[in-house]
Structure 1
Amino acid sequence: MTAHTDIGAVETDVAGSAAACDAAQAVRIRVHADLAEARAAWEELEAQHTASPYQSLAWQSAFLAHALPAGADSRIAVVSDAASGRPLLVLPLVIQRRGPLHVASLAGGKHANLHLPLACPRAPALRAPEAVRAHLLAIGRTLGIDAFAFINLPATWRGRPNPLALPGLRPAASDAYWSAFADHAADHPADAPPVPMSKETQKKLRKKGRALEALGPVRVSRARSEAEIAETLDAFFAFKARRMNALGIDDPFDAPGVRAFLASAAAPTPDGVRPALTLWRLTVGDRIAATFGAACDGERASGMFIAFDDAPEIARATPGDLMLLSIVEDLRAEGYESFDLGVGEARYKGHFCDRREALFELTLPVSLRGRAYAAGAGAAGRLKRAIKREAATNPRITAAIARARRLLKRPA
């Protein structure tokens, strides 16, 4: 694979419709092995706020430096206007072997609940799906890959179409849960509470908090110093490992480099700039009882993970809910427009989020072999979605899946 490839000027052939004619724009596509070579283009597009917090340079830099899957390679594709040189699209890609095939996905994988490219919203070259598809195929051929596999794609972001929402999208297995704060959302009444949780439920939750105070002073705070960040991550990894083991699920946070990735993303910055990952914890006395991490950009706080101590005297007080209630109130006061609790179904998400964001997947073949891969990925995705939907409404299926997972993980 070439470390740095300039594939020259490419003019997309989209003749045949008025909309497509508007999208005709000569572009230059460059593929970089080093993120630093794409930094200027990345920062220019990031400043236009067309992507989620997961596409910030800081978040992606931390991921690419520490959390690439074993055997994977990374490349940064930049599509620019051929005449002016202004960047139009930046795609951070991770390339992996899947059997005999090479498949490219967006950097961040499942750690990023929302996947978008960094894109210029006014670029004619991105207005027509045919044009974007042509750019992707050009990138794919340059990299020598067989297919692109994109997950967790919102169809739109901030009212604009996601350029990767191309024909062939299929619904993801799970949706994302989010909420807009009432004083920032035009379709919400001004006196709406910051969360959809009823006042009665909030009252019961605060009563549990007072019961927790019998064990020690209860406080929700951000981990700001290196020591606090390390302590919070220690607690999170311990809580998460116990929970995943109980469910019989492989712990995605146990992969090599993930601890270093999260620590790097949350590290305090010398100039006081907001880190890519903000960590909160609920403490009872000196004991950390719950942890929460979110990718934040000042407008959207996107929850990456949550975990709490499962000791009975702690768990019965639902410390995760108590912590989130405090966090949401603080985010609203700080002027955030919205927050989300990520992908997947969970009871607590309905307490804090009143909206569901439909997410999609796209497998775009580049080679002939990639076509067969795309067909198989589509069938597998549809089956996974059907199973998850059925499990969400049938507790017996959920319990059976958990039992099977535990049996499979049990040593012989």
Structure 2
Amino acid sequence: MTRAASDIELAIFTRLSEADADWQQLKDAGLGNPYQSLDWLRAWTETLGRQLKVEPILVAGRRQDQTQLILPLGLEHTAGIKTLTFLGHQHGNQNTGIWDRAFYDSVDASGMHSLLRKVCAKVGADLLKLENVPMTWHGRTHPLVFDGAAPSPSPIFTRRLGDDFDALFRDTHSKSSRKNLLRKERHLQAAGDFRIEKAAERQEIERCLAIFLEQRELRARESGVPNAFATPAARSFLARQLGLDDAMPASLDLWYLETGGAIRATYLCAEQDDTIYAYSNSIAHDDMLPNSPGLVLIKEIIARACADDQLQVLDLGLGEERYKTSWAEPVPLADSLLAVTAKGALKQKIVATALKAKTMIRNSDILWPAVKRLRKWKAGFSKTDDQKSN
């Protein structure tokens, strides 16, 4: 174990409240992301985590009573095998942990490998699975990317913003692309009562959230893409993240584009430190769809971020979409596996094979379009079948 990790004392908690003091130490001066903040994970644990029966395992690493890192993990039970993974990974875009800056700069992967092996032994985990960790983060290779780590199926997309949106727009889009998008924006404006806003009042947030969920559900039915927010637990999770639970502060903002008397696109975003994180969006499949309201919305969100002195970085999140590749650069993610028991070694082989196949499909110019066509065909078939039964 490296010197940076050799004198770290581990504290392991099973309730988020028990790790609150450690979280507070790193809240302002540490490195992290909104998907692993205390409020985000409290909302997830009390809704989706409860539904999925995930047991929280909060790991705090301390040196001389000073918190050096927090790893919010969860123990998942499947077929008698216990897998330790990031808490809430199913509904986040990336996993980094929360770090003291100096400790992050000094610790290496071998040191973290040794620490996490100890954690697995203490909690009885068979397998450690660390998914969607940025290969490079804050200027160095992330110490949770172990030797032998495999590329994640999809990258995230990020970019430095600067304060000149027009220059950014020119740098990222061709003249014809800019002209086309601005033409579509004018068409949306011509429908009347055009506006792009961040929902602020409770009634406005509730209305926009209902439309977001409705649009996501329609997209799932039309395209066959699974809807991550289909369950009551998921809807409750989003309501809490938007501050609709008075006991919790909001972790997300809900942006929307409205024109012609209807909301045509929404985008859930978070802001932390100097970064704006685009989390999840929705688009109305109606007569305004040819005018790309989603693209016009994200353009305006980016423009306002450029005008905000506090925001310097854009993070468009996980998944390769055309609009993301036009605005930002890919940051590869990695998946690390560590088997601790014989059962864990068996599952490691299965998981590694599945991740490799998923990555191959997602990065294939032939297989991934075929998967999307199959999803759409199945969605259309199910829709036709439902119509016949009615």
Q: TM-score, normalised by structure 2?
A: 0.90
Equivalent residue number for residue 295 of structure 1: 270
2:296 to 322, 337, 347: 322
Structure with the higher fraction of residues in helix conformation: 2
For 2:352 and 2:338, how far apart are their aligned partners in 1?
10
Deviations along 1:309-361, one digit per CA (max 9) or x if unpaired, are 001x11011000111111000011112111122111222222322x1110111
For 1:367 and 1:108, how far apart are their aligned partners in 2?
24
Instruction: Say if 2:74 is the partner of 1:94.
Output: yes
Equivalent residue number for residue 253 of structure 2: 278
For 2:249 and 2:232, how far apart are their aligned partners in 1?
26
Equivalent residue number for residue 14 of structure 2: 33
Shift of 1:406: 5.8
Equivalent residue number for residue 352 of structure 1: 327
Deviations along 1:216-236, one digit per CA (max 9) or x if unpaired, are 221110011221111111111
For 2:160 and 2:244, how far apart are their aligned partners in 1?
28
For 2:167 and 2:185, how far apart are their aligned partners in 1?
25
| Alpha-carbon contact 1:24-1:125 (below 8 Å) kept | no
| Residue-pair matches, total | 384
Describe the shift of the 1:152–1:408 C-alpha distance in structure 2 as closer, same or farther (beyond 3 A): farther
Q: TM-score, normalised by structure 1?
A: 0.85
| Alpha-carbon contact 1:125-1:131 (below 8 Å) kept | no
Describe the shift of the 1:191–1:304 C-alpha distance in structure 2 as closer, same or farther (beyond 3 A): closer
1:366 to 323, 336, 340: 340
Deviations along 1:18-47, one digit per CA (max 9) or x if unpaired, are xx3x33532321211221111111121232
- Could you say what secondary structure the match of 1:252 adopts? coil
Equivalent residue number for residue 262 of structure 1: 238
What CA RMSD, in Å, does the superposition of the two structures yield over aligned residues? 2.8
Equivalent residue number for residue 280 of structure 2: 305
Instruction: Say if 2:379 is the partner of 1:386.
Output: no
| Alpha-carbon contact 2:47-2:237 (below 8 Å) kept | yes
For 2:144 and 2:344, how far apart are their aligned partners in 1?
18
- Could you say what secondary structure the match of 1:373 adopts? helix
Percent of pairs with identical residues: 23
Deviations along 1:189-215, one digit per CA (max 9) or x if unpaired, are 995448612343223222222222333
- Could you say what secondary structure the match of 1:291 adopts? strand
- Could you say what secondary structure the match of 2:204 adopts? helix
Unaligned runs of 5+ in 2: none
Deviations along 1:257-289, one digit per CA (max 9) or x if unpaired, are 11111111121799xx98311110001144111
Describe the shift of the 1:32–1:72 C-alpha distance in structure 2 as closer, same or farther (beyond 3 A): same
Equivalent residue number for residue 91 of structure 2: 111
For 2:319 and 2:182, how far apart are their aligned partners in 1?
26
Equivalent residue number for residue 47 of structure 1: 28
Unaligned runs of 5+ in 1: 1-13, 15-19
AA partner of residue 185 (structure 2): G
Describe the shift of the 1:192–1:223 C-alpha distance in structure 2 as closer, same or farther (beyond 3 A): closer
